[in-house]
Structure formats: structure tokens, C-alpha cells
Chains A and B, each alone.
Chain A
Amino acid sequence: MLANHRFPKLPYALVALGALCLLAGSYLGLFVAPPEHYMGNVQRIMYVHVPTAWNDMLALTFAFFCAVMFLFKSDFKWDARMEAAIEVGILLAFLLCCQGAIWAKPTWGVWWDWDPRLTTTAVLLFAFAGILALRRFVDDPVKRGVWSAVATVIAYVDVPIVYYSVRWWNSLHQVQSSPSTVSSQFYLPLRLNAFGVLFLMTGFIMLRARIASRRLASELAPPPQELEGELV
């Protein structure tokens, strides 16, 4: 049913490759890279935080793309991919919030400092969790697909608005101190981890889409005995 059935082993390979990249990148980031000039060792959280952030945006953008494709084409493979991308996007957003809070505590002394990026991620986490809940509570697969696609489009359009509103809102209270930009000697662990999360995420989405498409297949084609029951 899904395109990735042509390569049934591909997602496993991606997950393994991603895990390897993450191990190597994290090793470099934790033990090889020097402590950063101002942030000290806390800076090392960035080697896993920033790649997660990039890939979370990528996952949710892919979910938005799938939603638009499903609304235009009404092909259920896009529905399965959207469900997968939303779930992995939520996973990464949850990790982002955790890492952001752990980063903020030693840096700014509070767990949550209403940084626009972190706050937008939290809003996204709840928005997309709501969409997954909606999918849980709608039984008709056609309605479920269309409605969650509509909700995904609406939630995705909200991202920049939330970001800018939180930024304005926060800048009226305090001057936002942003983490220093990453200088060139820190690139390698960052890139390795970015590709690691990317491979891992792609593998996860493909596997999750496979689960979703199997469930869809059983829902869209009811078992034969039910049909007979209706005829009698």
C-alpha cells in the first residue's frame, strides 16, 4: 500500500544509521569539543537541542505537506504519513521542551524563561497533541482524515503568529539574551547529530506510517463476514 513497502528494511537501516550518527556526534560533543567560552559545559546541550529543533520543524512541515496533499488528492497514504509525522513531531517537540528547560535552568536560573522559540514549541506540542486526540475520537476514516488534515493546516499556519506574538510579549518584559551563535569549531558534532536525528526521524515516520496504513487498510476494507451480515 505504501511506497516504503518496496524497501521493507529501509526504515530499520535509517534508524540504525541515525543512532550511530547520534552516538558519534554526542561523543564528539560531550568529550572532544572544548567547553564554550561563556556557557561552559552547559553549551554541550546545544549539540542535541539544536538538531532536535531543526528536525522537529521538518517533521511538522512534512505533516503540513501531507495534510495539503491529502486534502487535494484524498489518497490515504498521505493520511497515514500525516499521522506518523504528527506523532514524531510531538515526540521531538516534547524532547525540545525538556531539553530547553534543562538548558534554561543553569543559564538563566529558571526552568522556563518564556523564550519565544521554546514557548512556541510548547504551544505546538499541545496543538498537535489535540489533533492526535481528535483522530482518536473520530471513527469514520474519511472524516478523521479530512478533519485532522484541516486542523493540521490551521495549526501550522499559527506557528509564525505564535512565535512573533510571544516575542513581542516577552520583549516588553525583559531583554532576551539569546544563546551565542555556534562558531565553526563546534560544527562537526552539531552536523553529525543533525543528520542522526534526521535519519532516526525519517525511519520512525516510515515505520509509524506503516502501522497507520495497516490500520487504515483494515478499516477501509471491512471483513467479508460483516458484509454478508448486511446483505442478509
Chain B
Amino acid sequence: MTGGYITGGWTFVWVAYGWTALVLTAYAVSLFVRLRRSR
């Protein structure tokens, strides 16, 4: 490949998206649990 073109990198993409989804979901679950408990 020529120049600064970065080949591959799919692993990094999946890790970034997966981690984001995981953290957001975990936060949503924690919010739900705390909301239940505060009732």
C-alpha cells in the first residue's frame, strides 16, 4: 500500500464500537437498577 493508507484496522473498529456499546448498555442497566431502588 502507498502513502499513509492504513490497511486492516477492523479489529480496532470493532473494539471501539463494542466497548462503546458495552459501556452505554452497562450504564443504562445501572440507571435502571438505581431507579428501581430509589422508588
Residues of A within 8 A of B (CB): 15, 26, 30, 37-42, 44-45, 48-49, 52, 91, 94-95, 98-99, 102-103, 105-107, 200, 204, 207-208, 210-211, 214-215
Contact = CB atoms under 8 A, between A and B. Distances in A.
A22 B5 CA distance: 27
B31 A211 contact: yes
Interface string B25-39: 001100110110011
A98 B34 CA distance: 25
Interface in B1-28: 3-10, 12-13, 15-17, 19-20, 23-24, 27-28
B5 to A, nearest CB: 6
A38 B4 contact: yes
4 closest A-B pairs by beta carbon, nearest first, are A42-B9, A40-B6, A214-B38, A102-B16
B7 A102 contact: no
B6 A48 contact: no
B17 A26 contact: yes
B6 to A, nearest CB: 4
Contacts of A44: 13
Most central of A40, A94, A98, A210 by chain B CB within 10 Å: A40
A141 B3 CA distance: 59
Contacts, number: 78
A58 to B, nearest CB: 16
B14 to A, nearest CB: 9
A207 B31 CA distance: 7
A211 B34 contact: yes
B16 A103 contact: yes
Given A26-B17, A30-B13, A103-B16, A38 B6 contact: yes
A215 B35 CA distance: 11
Contacts of B31: 204, 207-208, 211
B8 A41 contact: yes
Contacts of B34: 211
A91 B27 contact: yes
Contact of B5 (A40, A95, A99): A40
A24 to B, nearest CB: 14
B13 A42 contact: yes
Contact of A106 (B6, B28, B32, B35): B6
A211 B13 contact: no
B13 A39 contact: no
Contact of B13 (A45, A94, A208): A45
